[in-house]
Structure 1
Amino acid sequence: MDLVKHLRYFTVVAEELHFGNAAIRLGMAQPPLSQRIRRLEEELGVRLFDRSSRQVRLTEAGRALLAEAREIVDRVDRLRALAERGEGEVLRVGVPPDLGSAVIAALIDGFREAGGEEPDLRVRLAPAEMWSTDQVAGLAAGTLDVGVLRHPVAAPGLSFGPVLVQRPGVLLAEPDPLAGRSSVHLADLAGRRLVLFPGEPGLQEETLAECRRHGFVPEEVHEAQTLGLVIAGTAIAFGPRVELPGLRWRPLLGEPLAWRISTAWRGEAGPAAAVFGAVAVRVLKENAGMTDDGAAPVRRVRTRPASGFLA
């Protein structure tokens, strides 16, 4: 566990005493923030907040920890600031949490190598795992320089790099009868519950429309960042190929789903953002199985608020 990062989350929640407001300040969704506070409580063996439907309050242990937590976070920030003076500018980048650590590591390595080829470019990459809605808010607020987000998005004022396409398959519990097939038709999933990413309302809308068009109307739709419901055999999910205990990934017959992803920035892209955009295209093709988009330009849609369900 990254203790300093979790202490930072704790101090912001302690200042706001409201998980929703704290999540906005941190540029992340509320469910993962709640998860990380619970993880910190488990690590420390104490309850830091009293939570109810009406209010959030610090416990006695939480009040005792707050001053020390602030001091630790401030010291780490001072250390980073000193280090960054010798490294140049920091490019703040948002990436989807489900890209995976290997892809994010490849982005960092690729950007470092590209920076070495540009003698005047002294920039350090600081990625933050954020869903597209949070990235759009961060770009608008100036807390992010570049985003790697999924389309469609309703975001006037943003510019986009080349659009890549990812063809997801279906994730099933290992004992599922469909897991024994070489491929699965969307209509074969009729009557099942579906897990979708939170923070991606435009993608959710497009995915559900395509499912209906191919004969799959989910019995129920949940938003979750984990695959717990899928492993338990109570739901299915769509996504890139993964190898996890208890799960089976199968391609969808005819590849009916096409998830589009690209870099995005506000205003004119500076040299660092342009370099990162080129690196991102190469890395996503090589490490995430994405291909060039031969479709029409990116569409912007009006999206509906998400429900915030967490498995």
Structure 2
Amino acid sequence: MDLIRHVRYFLAVTEERHFGRAAARLGIAQPSLSQRVQRLERELGVRLFDRTSRGVELTEGGRLLLTEARSLIARADTLLGVAARVRGGAAGVLRAAVPPELGGAVVAALVGGFRDRSPGVRLALRELGAMAQLTELRAGTLDAGVLRHPVDVAGLDLGEVLCRPYGVVLPSAPNGEVLPRAPGIAAGPGTAPPPDGETGPPVRLTSLGGLDLVLFPQPSAPALHAEILALCRRHGFEPGTVIAGQDPEFVDGMVLSGTAVTFATRDRKLPPGTAWHPLEGEPLLEQVSAAWLRGRRDDPVVRLFAEVALTVLTERGGMVPVMETAAARRATLSGPAYGYTV
């Protein structure tokens, strides 16, 4: 027996004090309503109404149950209302993740933008590498994420793939003082490195020969790791050693030593003594997109996360659709299986 529905019938008869009027209000036949009230009485073991020539009156047992019946229906309506808000994306929790080094301004805008557009939903955001995100998305412990490509996207749906160029971080000098360049990095006579944190002149990958490369640990994104190294070699840069490093202080220290370089997007916070240089021809592109488990494309909260991520990544992250870039147009890209491109 559907207890909630039968209690609603009981309350309708109580308020109308007449089976015929209650049946008309509920949109059912009077005999059917009478049968259902009788079934509720049998289920509760309590006679609820006395039938009279003018209608019905509550029994003493019915009066005692009336308060609880109203409370039950009120709680049921509250439950159904919350469920409707969750279905509609107005309440609940969204478990999401972003990759490391996405940028503080981007993360802040993502959290704020999601909160503004759906204040009833709490965004439980974590930082996770690509492999960890894939594992949790497929296990159902993560609802949505921002993935850095290339990754195996089998079983996933993706938002639009966006990109931005990577540059190289090199030592700089304050006040325009000329510092010795690391081996292999050519500079014209009297050329000074840019001041701390500034953008320097473009650098060719071939000019980085002989230097070590500090790169994120290979297990966190093996396909991307392999693609970066392959692209470096295609453009004439064979790192002396590939050093696994993700802690910013370690990475910065290696760059400051003059023996290693690292790739980064322009919005990366740089330590004193370093500067960001674009790579000539933009051979390296960071590519990201929102992702979620296939079958959840109609979930309004997941859809909202994807929309906010797209807006934030373009407006605050400086990203553009991948096929709008000159480098991407030169390459044959079949989809988001590519991360860095030539």
TM-score bucket (shorter structure): 0.5 to 0.7
Partner of 1:8: none
Partner of 2:207: 188
Aligned residue for 2:335, secondary structure, equals coil
Report the CA distance between 1:250 and its aligned residue: 0.5
Judged with a 3 Å threshold, the aligned counterparts in structure 2 of structure 1 residues 176 and 166 are, in CA distance, closer, same or farther, namely farther
Aligned residue for 2:259, secondary structure, equals coil
Whether 2:104 is the aligned partner of 1:101: answer yes
Partner of 2:238: 217
Partner of 2:123: 125
Residue identity opposite 1:231 in structure 2: L
Report the CA distance between 1:132 and its aligned residue: 0.9
* Farther-moved stretch of structure 1 (227-236 vs 93-102): 227-236
Q: TM-score, normalising length from structure 1?
A: 0.63
Alignment of 1:1-311 (within 5 A): 88-115=91-118, 122-174=120-172, 175=179, 177=181, 178=185, 179=193, 182-198=201-217, 199-226=220-247, 227=251, 228-241=253-266, 242=268, 243-267=270-294, 268-269=296-297, 270-294=299-323, 295=328, 296-300=333-337
What is the aligned residue count? 211
Report the CA distance between 1:234 and its aligned residue: 2.7
1:207-248 CA deviation, whole Å, 9 max, x = no partner? Answer: 112111111011111221122322333310101123322221
8 Å Cα contact 1:91/1:272 also seen in 2: yes
Q: Distance in 1 between matches of 2:121 and 2:264?
A: 32
Judged with a 3 Å threshold, the aligned counterparts in structure 2 of structure 1 residues 171 and 96 are, in CA distance, closer, same or farther, namely same
Q: Distance in 1 between matches of 2:180 and 2:143?
A: 43
Aligned residue for 2:132, secondary structure, equals helix
Name segments (4+ residues, structure 1) moved above 6 Å: none
Residue identity opposite 2:132 in structure 1: D
Q: Distance in 2 between matches of 1:260 and 1:142?
A: 24
Report the CA distance between 1:176 and its aligned residue: 6.0
1:153-180 CA deviation, whole Å, 9 max, x = no partner? Answer: 0242111110001201001123562545
Aligned residue for 2:118, secondary structure, equals helix
Judged with a 3 Å threshold, the aligned counterparts in structure 2 of structure 1 residues 219 and 213 are, in CA distance, closer, same or farther, namely same
Q: Distance in 2 between matches of 1:126 and 1:152?
A: 25
8 Å Cα contact 2:161/2:336 also seen in 1: no
Q: Distance in 1 between matches of 2:225 and 2:180?
A: 24
8 Å Cα contact 2:171/2:273 also seen in 1: yes
Unaligned runs of at least 5 residues, structure 2: 1-85, 173-178, 186-192, 195-199
Residue identity opposite 1:147 in structure 2: G
Report the CA distance between 1:101 and its aligned residue: 2.3
